[in-house]
Amino acid sequence: MSELPELPVTFRPRRTRTVLLGAGAVMFVVLTVIAFLLPNLSPGERTSFVFTGALLLGVLVLLARPKVVADETGVRVVNIATSRRLEWAQIVQVTLRPGDPWVFLNLSDGTSLPALGIQPGVARQQAVADAKALRALTEARAPLGD
């Protein structure tokens, strides 16, 4: 078994998050500057440029939200629009197969929960290491007698 990370630990796609937040900030600033540099825009048109920039930034902030936070009592999976708290005993298996877009948590109730906070898109090696660490934490905290 690999060495367990110190708890609490947060897993998130850092490069993807940086790109999304950076692009969102740049788009907001560019649209705001354009709104005030174009001389023939009405106040309503200027407002719509700024609002569009803020809307784009908001969408990219939501896309940058996913993370998986593990602590002594369990795991919090934060995806784009949802968040779910799991006890360690609820997680049966942590999987990241070749070609998977993110980690899946197989749960004791027979369902599977996607954990978008560990995704191999831009940083595959980091995602694999994070998946292994979460798997090791889950196995270390599995209820006895399984």
Q: The tokens 């196995």 sit on which residue?
A: 139
Q: The tokens 């649209």 sit on which residue?
A: 31
- Does residue 145 register a pLDDT over 70? no
Question: ∠ CA 113-63-128 to the nearest 5 degrees?
Answer: 55
pLDDT of residue 122: 80
* Tens digit of each residue's pLDDT (9 = 90 or more) over 12-36: 999 999 999 999 999 999 999 999 9
Contact 122, 129 (CB under 8 A): no
Residue 86, strand partner residues: 75
**Lowest mean pLDDT: which of 61-65, 87-91, 117-121?**
117-121
Mean pLDDT of 45-67: 97
Which is higher by pLDDT, 107 or 145?
Answer: 107
pTM as predicted: 0.87
DSSP per-residue codes, 24-79: HHHHHHHHHHHHHH-TT--HHHHHHHHHHHHHHHHHHHHHT--EEEE-SSEEEEE-
